Amino acid sequence: MARVACLQTRPRATFGEAIAELLPLATRAVRGGAQLLCLPEYCGGLTSDGPLFRPPSAAENEHPVLKRLREFAADNDVWMLVGSIAIAAENGLILNRTYVLDDSGNVAARYDKIHLFDIQLSPQVRFEESAVVTPGNKAVVASTPLGQIGLSICYDLRFPRLYRRLAQGGADILAVPAAFTKVTGLAHWHVLNRSRAIENGAYVIAPGATGEVPGGGECFGHSLIIDPWGRILADGGEGPGIIHAEVDVSRVEEMRGKISSLSRGREFTLTLANYPDPA
Q: Is 238 a catalytic residue?
A: no
Residue 2 half-sphere exposure, CB side, CA atoms within 13 Å? 21
Catalytic, out of 6, 38, 43, 154: 154
Residues 39, 82: Cα–Cα separation, whole Å:
5
Catalytic, out of 38, 41, 43, 219: 41
Spell out the residues 6+ positions from residue 171 whose beta carbon is closer than 8 angstroms to its own. 141, 148, 149, 150, 200, 202
Q: Is 182 a catalytic residue?
A: no
Catalytic, out of 113, 129, 182, 219: 113
Using CB atoms within 10 A of its CB, is residue 147 exposed (0-12), middle (13-18) or buried (19+)? buried
Q: Is 41 a catalytic residue?
A: yes
What is the set of active-site residues?
41, 113, 154
